[in-house]
Amino acid sequence: MSSSATAAGWAKQAWASLGRLSYTSLSLLALPSYAAELAAHALTGQQTPDLAYERLGLCTAERPAGPVLWFHAFSIGESAVALPVIFRCLLEYNEHVHVLLTTSTPEARTLLQNSLPPRVTVQFLPLDNMLCMRQFLAHWKPQACILMESPAWPALVECCAAAGVRLALLNARLSSRVFLSWFCSAPRRALLGSMLSSFNLIVPQSDIDVGRFRILGATLGQMPGWCSDLKYAAALGTSVWHLWRPRPGRWVAGAGNSSCVTMQPC
């Protein structure tokens, strides 16, 4: 290897370390203020104490025996993407395999809570810092983590990689604005490249996204192809969801806007 290539590799590692250190430090420094805000919301009735505990990585549900597959969907739109995959896993694997579904919005958690099969547990995703994530992973001990659309969870990815949890990114996408925000900053670009190297599988939405992820450090071996937008498969997910729901009523999927799919009774 030439000296210039070696120097470039060292520089990339240095930028990645700087980006990781900056993110870790800022997220931990912000933890007390986040905790105070969550406590205030719980005291004023804006959310229940259980939700505040979950945001801090203090799990309120017991871990079931057997393997656990962890899916994270940020909001209702990403949840619609995850549902067909989750139900496929439930059909493929026996009753000893359970699914943990985390989300980051109260609307998605309210919609999904108590509406999925018994083998699926719904929780809030903890705050993305090393302390909360380590505590969360120590409780759930998942065998795999499947993220929807965005890989931008530095503490989650680092903690999963350190714990030996296999990582996958489905329906992966980078808009032009997001791509440029990562690419134009050397520490951010190196940090994302380091995160992407931890994934065992990346399935982008399009060939354009394949190129963008490739530029930012993903390899072709991680990306066997692309899938188009899995939100179009949400109708299948809601149909299977209806078959499992304990309550009567039919559900349909409709596009609420360009970035989410809503599920409404009819």
Q: Which amino acid is at 213?
A: F
Tokens 């806007």: give the residue: 257
> CB–CB of 76/262 below 8 Å?
yes
Q: Are 143 and 69 in contact (CB under 8 A)?
A: yes
Task: Find the catalytic residue in 54, 78, 149, 158.
Answer: 78
Q: How crowded is residue 47: how many other Cβ atoms within 10 Å of its Cβ?
A: 15
Residue 48 tokens read as: 């229940």
Bridge partner list, 103: 124
Q: Which of 124, 117, 130, 114 is nearest to 20 (CA)?
A: 130
Residue 90 tokens read as 């439930």
Active site (annotated) includes residue 95:
no
Distance from C-alpha of 7 to C-alpha of 256, rounded to nearest angstrom: 49
Instruction: Write out the catalytic residue numbers.
Output: 78
